[in-house]
Each structure stands twice: as C-alpha cells, then as structure tokens.
Amino acid sequence: MPKRLGVGNYQYESVEPWPKIDIPGIVSDVATDSQDRVYLPVRTSQRFDDNAGAIMVFDRDGTHLKTFGQDKLHTPHGLWITPEDALYLTDTFDHCVRTYSTSGDPRMVLGVPGEPGPGGCPFNRPTLAFPSPVSDDLFVSDGYRQNRVHRFSPSGADPSAAGQYSRWKRGWEHTDLEMTASWGGGDLNYHDDSSWGSTENHGTGPGEFLLPHGVVVDRNERVYVMDRSNGRIQIFDRDGVYLAEWATPSPNQGFIDDNDVMHVPGSGGIHLLGLNGEQIGRWGEKGSEPWQFRGGPHGLWIDSHSDIYVAQVSADNAINKFARV
C-alpha cells in the first residue's frame, strides 16, 4: 500500500518503486523538463582521486531513457531546468557551470574546468545556478570553498559592473554573459572547516555565509540563499542588498511553487515556508522503508502534475517520488 505523507493541503502518496532500475551512485539533485521527463545528476564515483558523474534521464513512470555527460562531469551537484528546457548544472570539483539541451548536447561552460577561481570570484566548488524567472540574469551560489553569490547578465547589460569583473573571465568557453554583481562574506568556508579544522572566524552576520548551498529567485527577483551551515535562508534584492532571513534547519535548496510556497529539503525532511517567512510545516522522515528517506534530502523538484521528487545524498540509489493527492 502507498504511504500517505504531507502537511496541510500538501498531501502525497509514495510511488513505489521509482525508478524501475537501481541508480549506480549518489543522486545529488532532480529536475523535470516540459515533458515531465526526469533528470538525475548522479555521482557514479566519489573518491579522493577518482570523481565521476553523469545525468540519467527517466520518464515519469521511472523507465530509464538515456544517460549523458559522463565524458565531462566530475561531481555533479545542483541542477535547474528552465521552462524553455535549458539545463543548468553545477559541477563542484570541476569548478564550473555547464548547460545542456534536453537531448544532452553541451551548450555553455561558465568557469574554467578544473581551475578554481581566485578568492571572491567564480568559481570555487559552486553549488547551484538559477536563471531568473523575470530577467535574463543568472544567479550562482558558490559554495563549498567560498561564501559568495554571483549574478551574471548578458554582455552589455551593465557595462560598468561588467568591467569591474571581466578580468576574471579570461579562458571561459562562453562570452555572452558578464558577471555584474557578487556578494557574500565570512572567512571560514565549509571545506576548510570540515576537512582541516580551520580556526577562521565563522561569518554569521547579514550577508555572510557558511556554505551557500543553493539559490532561488522569485517573481519579484528577490534572491533566497540557502545558508546551510548557518541554519538559515537569507533574502536579498537582485543587487545583493540584505532584506531578511529565516531560521531553517540545514536548508539545501528551495523550490517555489505556483502558490508562492517554498519547499526546502533539509534537516528533518521537507520544510514548507510562505514567501513572507511563515512556517507552514514539515513532512518526511529518515528510515529504510521505500517511502522514507534513506539519505539526507538534498534536492527537490515539483513537476507539472504537482508530483514531488526528493534526491538524497549520503546513500546510493536514494531518490523518492511522491504523487500529489
């Protein structure tokens, strides 16, 4: 029997099994295209000197359709698909943002593959690239080794700002975007803290981050940054001016639905928040049952049927689908 889960008006039944094959690695994120095909960035190998990944594609029933990207990807992390079916994927250990068509054709690379950017500049293990729903700008959270958010705009959109940042762009494979804003702070970055026990100061003030793990932009172009290790979501205007913050346990990503409710995978399950900061509720639990989360909720997507997918890290083959009821 399918398990019923949810909170308030957001009720779901688990879809079991989904998908119809085992995933050979860790599913870091999930997104669907305009045809409700499901794209899973998968880390097929995670070792000190051997990182590899791919994007696996399924139909909504869980049948595997194809796999691509395995010739380029190292550690796929955050994925976002636009209404026009452009795929934006961050690859943390390759220090870049890659875009693809739904057929798997590579389109654009932002950053220098394999080369981390200088301090304060793109990219040093970026986490998510999010195209604005109301402009041609692209916002990128960056990430595991520096506490920044960057905004990119079409060339010529803001010549003064573009000139300020263009010196960091040499060697990039794509030249139609310029970095026109960048903000953040905090001396301690997540990687050095977790790997080396750094004694740098932990940035907790407005506009400071400790692992900006995701970014989402609403229809008013307010920018929500998942400040994961600070246990909060910070809100900014498009230029990085601090507006507010909400306490949220280990937020990994945010998905804003058509009713302006944000769904946040994080510690303890899926958290629902209104865009005014209202705490609507939380659902989901960890465990080994098919309807439970075997790993940590890391990525989330809602398709055109209002069905929800939850990708989990810290466990292989950890992806759940829940049908809205």
pLDDT of residue 9: 96
The DSSP 8-state label assigned to residue 275 in this structure reads T
Element (H, E) at 317: none
Within a 10 A sphere around the Cβ of 300, how many other Cβ atoms? 22
What residues contact 5, with CB distance under 8 A and at least 6 apart?
11, 12, 13, 14, 283, 284, 291, 322
Element (H, E) at 182: strand 177-184
Asked if the peptide bond before residue 19 counts as cis, ω within 30 degrees of 0, the response is yes
State the maximum Cα–Cα separation within the chain, in Å, rounded to a whole number.
60
For the whole model, what pTM was predicted? 0.94
Supply angle C-alpha 166, 159, 120, rounded to 5: 35
For 296-309, how does the pLDDT look when each residue is reduced to its tens digit (9 = 90+)? 999 999 999 999 99
Q: What is the full DSSP assignment across 83-113?
A: TT--EEEEETTTTEEEEE-TT--EEEEESBT
What residues contact 240, with CB distance under 8 A and at least 6 apart?
149, 151, 181, 182, 183, 207, 223
Q: Two tokens at 151?
A: 């905004």
Identity at 55, one-letter amino acid code: I
User: Do 185 and 208 contact (CB within 8 A), yes or no?
Assistant: yes
pLDDT of residue 190: 84
What residues contact 206, with CB distance under 8 A and at least 6 apart?
234, 242, 245
Reference 64, options 13, 15, 23; nearest CA is: 23
pLDDT of residue 146: 92
pLDDT block averages, 10 residues each, the chain of length 325: 93 97 98 98 90 97 98 97 97 96 95 91 96 96 95 74 49 69 89 77 91 98 97 98 98 98 96 97 96 97 98 97 98
Reference 95, options 69, 71, 77; nearest CA is: 77
Q: Two tokens at 270?
A: 């899926």
Element (H, E) at 217: strand 212-217
pLDDT of residue 167: 44
Identity at 191, one-letter amino acid code: H
Rg, C-alpha atoms of the chain: 18
pLDDT of residue 149: 97
pLDDT of residue 161: 54
What distance in Å separates the CA atoms of residue 57 and residue 307, rounded to the nearest whole number?
17
Q: What is the full DSSP assignment across 56-83?
A: EEE-TTS-EEEEE-TTT-SSEEEEEE-T
What distance in Å separates the CA atoms of residue 121 and residue 260, rounded to the nearest whole number?
32
pLDDT of residue 44: 96
pLDDT of residue 157: 64
Identity at 99, one-letter amino acid code: T
